[in-house]
Amino acid sequence: MTFFASVGRSTIEKIAYVGGLGIQFWKGLRSSYRVNPITGSRLRWRATVEQMAVLGFGAMPVVCLISGATGLIMAFQGGAELRQFGALQFVINLVGVSMTRELGPLMTAIVVIGRSGSSFSAEIGTMVVTEEVDALRSMAIDPIEFLLAPKYVAMMVMMPCLTIAAVTSGILAGGLFTYFTLDMSLGVYLRATLEVLVLRDIISSMIKAIVFGTIIVHVGCFEGFQVAGGPVGVGRSATAAVVKSIFLVVLADLMATAFFYLFWQ
């Protein structure tokens, strides 16, 4: 195979992958309203609530711990540099803005990818290998509605909540640094942080959380539906789901940050 043929085939595969994700996203979006307990299926709603418990409450301790450690590390590293200029008080700005705009949503997404993105792929991939997905289709049950829609709705609810918890943990961890270095009480620290943050920071954080959650669900489920090759394929799909989700989340974060920087100041 020539170089140009290899590049062309790889390009076509990537375009087909993005197209498949787009089609799945539209189908999942149309099926999302059917998981509500009023006009939709109570079975789907029960599955959605179970997914909320797994996605949200199960991930909360890990998200808070990692985000708190990240906020404290940022305070130490920023304080080491700002101390040279006598501007140690600007650690409050650094931690508050960075955790809200950037690190809170990103660290949450990475944790959720590791916990749930691979789980989505492995779960659906196993069902594909054991022909359970084919059985659903034979019973006129849409696998997207039955498997993906509850996960998608649960992620849209819990991802912003996890992001808020992550941002709060990181900011509170930065408060430990200011308490021991600047002798600043927690109340003063929180008031100073609220003065630094603006509504744009909070809105951008929630938008990123929703976008990241959408990527995680659809990439994980898409890799699961594409499983081939038996049990070995399930492991490969879980690995691919994690790698591709991280890449797309970081790419989306870059694009969102560039957009907010250029057009929303």
DSSP 8-state symbol, 85: G
For residues 149-158, give the mean pLDDT: 91
| pLDDT for the residue 8 | 83
Q: Best-predicted range by mean pLDDT among 129-133, 154-158, 180-184?
A: 154-158
Domain encompassing residue 205: 28-263
What distance in Å separates the CA atoms of residue 228 and residue 173, rounded to the nearest whole number? 45
Residue 231: inside a domain: yes
Residue 17: inside a domain: no
Residue 108: inside a domain: yes
DSSP 8-state symbol, 113: I
**pLDDT of 264 above 80:** no
| pLDDT for the residue 111 | 93
Question: Which has the minimum average pLDDT: 25-34, 83-92, 99-108, 252-261?
Answer: 83-92
Looking up tokens 């998981």 gives 35
**pLDDT of 265 above 70:** no
In terms of pLDDT, which residue wins out, 18 or 207? 207
Q: What is the pLDDT of residues 38-69, one digit of tens each?
A: 666 666 778 888 888 888 888 899 999 999 99
| pLDDT for the residue 189 | 87
For residues 82-92, give the mean pLDDT: 78
For the chain, how many residues are written?
265
Letter for the amino acid at 175? Answer: G
Helix 91-98 vs helix 186-196: crossing angle, to nearest 10: 60
Residue 174: inside a domain: yes
In terms of pLDDT, which residue wins out, 246 or 45? 246
| pLDDT for the residue 208 | 94
Residue 61: inside a domain: yes
Residue 8: inside a domain: no
Residue 50: inside a domain: yes
* Domain count of the fold of the chain: 1
**pLDDT of 89 above 80:** no
| pLDDT for the residue 42 | 67
| pLDDT for the residue 160 | 94
Average pLDDT score over the chain: 87
Q: Is 182 exposed, middle or buried (0-12, 13-18, 19+ CB in 10 A)?
A: middle
Residue 235: inside a domain: yes
pTM: 0.90
Under 8 Å CB-to-CB from 264, ≥6 apart: which residues? 200, 204
